[in-house]
Structure 1
Amino acid sequence: MNIRRWSVGVLAAALFVPGLAACKSEAGSPTADSKSAAAGIPADPKEALAAATKEIQKGNFTFGIKGGEFNGSGTVHMPSKSAEMKLESGQTANDDLAMSMHLVFIDADSWVKLELAGAMADAVPGFKAMKGKFQHLDRSKIKDAKELNFDFTDVDPAGADKMIKAITDVKQTGEGTYAGTIDATKASDSDLLDAETVKALGAQASAVPFTAKLDAQGRLTEFAVQVPAAGGAEAQAVTVTYADYGSAAAVQAPPAGQVVEASDQLYQMFQG
């Protein structure tokens, strides 16, 4: 899944489908250090954060994503080779069209359910008939659509490890809490900081502030990037959270009565 690209790109791309209308490094306190040491958390802040993502790669957790343009949540469950993601665009009172998307992945099968809201929703051809339905996807038609795929060899939905590798400065600010900066030019392939955002930041991209939180076992529970205003976009915090390590539930396939084969219009939306 490519989260950020969907939030800023696919909704806009949908507007161009024929027939669709346009819309408008210091040590922490002695108490924190002693507890971290007892839990086996490295004393060096950067090493602690690097180690914090190892549990993510086991692929058994739930997550949430929140930012100025999108909100999302989901589950990754490698024991059953399943995952799901729910995303919503940040609709405001002035938006004519907003979209939510629910993706389900189980081994080689995948489904997507799109819901539209806003004044123009009923005017969008084809989508009214799909309301409330999961569209079963033909994998051969979505090879280049990152928004509709999930890579079970790289299960982190937000690429937190990529951002941690791009850290330029970090200090421990309390028990399990950290703050610093990342060089976003080295993390533009993460899903929270795409190449377009990094380009718009210009010189600011080399020192983007972040905060992070670890649980008592040293596992990453939150990573937040404070993206400065740039390129006409307002400043915003983009946050990913992780929970339920080792205890996430297997994702279930949509009920057969709610499934149809994906329409040509849906594939057209995600081309390019």
Structure 2
Amino acid sequence: MINRRLAIAGLTLVTALGLAGCGPNDDKARSGTGAPAAGRAAEAAADELDPAAALAAAAKRLGEQSMRIDMDMAGAISMTGVADPKAGVAEMSMDMGALGDGTKVELRKVGQDVYMKFGGSIGKSLGGGSGKPWMHVDATKITEGSSFNILPKADPAGTKAMIAAMTKVERVGEHGFKGLLDPTRMPQYNKSLKALGTKAGEMPFTAKTDDQDRLTELTLDMSALGAGAGKVKTRYSDFGTPVSVEAPPAAQVAELPKELSGLIQA
């Protein structure tokens, strides 16, 4: 039961953060800096003609600023928080109350340190009376395929993975998109979803951008994956909002237990 709940938590985190934008190591030409004006103009024209390129560029632009992230998974799981992909910091709070015991998860990312605190029965079983509610993980030890591999240095918010997973993209009006994603092409999803067969490779999505061509809303329709899966809607807002994340007090932190090592491995 605990493993199933942690898997759901990880999947939701990937959905919200893994498709959030880019960081400083991505292509400077796409971010609008470091490229000749003629080159940027040519790319802008290409984006206008190619819906996939336009959507990819919109996601990448999120990496230029901090933001607020709000996610709802079929009314059953919700998440809210802030992230700054360039600074490599994030603070998220997830409520998995639909699982029956009001489980909540808090997550902080500070540079190469990830901290997690579980509530409900999961938190009680992990705490074991140690008085240290937070679990620490060295981000450099988290494998590419782990659901908790958030804001990785090479691709801070997973834009490259999203682009690789898009199999069909169409425009819907001036600021809308729709299409299909193949999540099995994304390392975070691959291990758990390949077992579902062809359904996992046909996930409809819709997206919206603002007047500055930034991704502001992404909805994944996971209904085909099973009863109760529903839609996952993630909204990005409050661009440029101050994001200050601190590590929990050392006295409240313990290393991730060995029995949960699967969280950080593919």
TM-score class normalised by the smaller sequence: 0.5 to 0.7
- Give unpaired runs (5+ residues) of structure 2: 11-43
Structure 1 residues 183, 129: CA separation in 2 closer, same or farther (over 3 Å shift)?
Answer: closer
Could you tell me which residue of structure 2 aligns to residue 111 of structure 1? 115
Partner of 1:14: none
Higher CA-based Rg: 1
Matches within 5 A, 1:146-185: 146=146, 150=150, 151-156=152-157, 159=158, 161-185=160-184
CA distance change for structure 1 residues 134 and 248 in 2, over 3 Å: closer, same or farther? Answer: farther
Q: 1:165 to 1:81 in 2, by over 3 A?
A: closer
DSSP-derived class of the 1:203 partner: helix
SS in 1 for 2:48: coil
Q: 5 Å matches for 1:85-124?
A: 85-92=92-99, 95=100, 97-116=101-120, 124=125
Shift of 1:65: 2.7
Kept after mapping to 2: 8 A contact 1:75/1:84: yes
* Percent identity of paired positions between Structure 1 and Structure 2: 27
Matched, 1:222 2:222: no
What amino acid does structure 2 have at the position aligned with 1:199? A
Q: Distance in 1 between matches of 2:216 and 2:55?
A: 11
What's the CA shift for 1:57?
3.4
Cα separation, 2, equivalents of 1:170 and 1:141: 34
| CA distance in structure 2 between the partners assigned to 1:140 and 1:54 by the alignment | 22
- Contact kept in structure 1, 2:199 and 2:224, CA below 8 Å: no
The equivalent residue for 1:262 is: 254
Query: For residue 55 of structure 1, what is the aligned residue in structure 2?
Result: 61
Q: Answer yes or no: is the 8 Å Cα contact 1:138–1:262 preserved in 2.
A: no
Maintained 8 Å contact 1:141/1:267: no
Instruction: Determine the C-alpha separation between the residues in 1 that align with 2:59 and 2:9.
Output: 28
Q: Say which SS state the counterpart of residue 271 (structure 1) adopts.
A: helix
Question: How many equivalent pairs are there?
Answer: 223
Q: Structure 1 pair 244/269, CA: closer, same or farther in 2 (3 Å)?
A: farther
- Aligned partner of 1:197 in structure 2 is 193
What's the RMSD between the two structures over aligned residues? 3.8
In the alignment, the residues of structure 2 paired with residue 143 and residue 203 of structure 1 have an alpha-carbon distance, to the nearest angstrom, of: 28
1:82 to partner: Cα distance: 2.2
- Counterpart CA distance in 2 for 1:138 and 1:164 is 28
1:237 counterpart residue number: 231
Could you tell me whether the CA contact under 8 Å between 2:97 and 2:104 is conserved in 1?
no
Cα distance in 2 for partners of 1:227, 1:102 equals 24
Runs of 5+ unmatched residues, structure 1: 11-38
100-109 or 170-179, which deviates more: 100-109
Matches within 5 A, 1:45-84: 45-58=51-64, 60-68=66-74, 70-78=77-85, 80-84=87-91
Q: Say if 1:181 and 1:125 are closer, same or farther in 2 by CA, change over 3 A.
A: closer
Whether the 8 Å contact between 1:57 and 1:154 is mirrored in structure 2 is no
Whole-Å separation in 2 of the counterparts to 1:79 and 1:125:
32
Considering fraction of residues, name the structure with more helix: 2
Shift of 1:179: 1.2
How does the TM-score come out when normalised to structure 2? 0.65
Counterpart of 2:244 in structure 1 is: 250
How much does 1:116 deviate?
A: 0.8
Q: TM-score with structure 1 length normalisation? A: 0.64
Q: Pick closer, same or farther for the CA change 1:104–1:126 going to 2, 3 Å.
A: closer
C-alpha deviations, 1:13-53, integer Å up to 9, x for none?
xxxxxxxxxxxxxxxxxxxxxxxxxx986243212101112
Residue identity matched to 1:270: L
Letter in 2 for 1:197: L
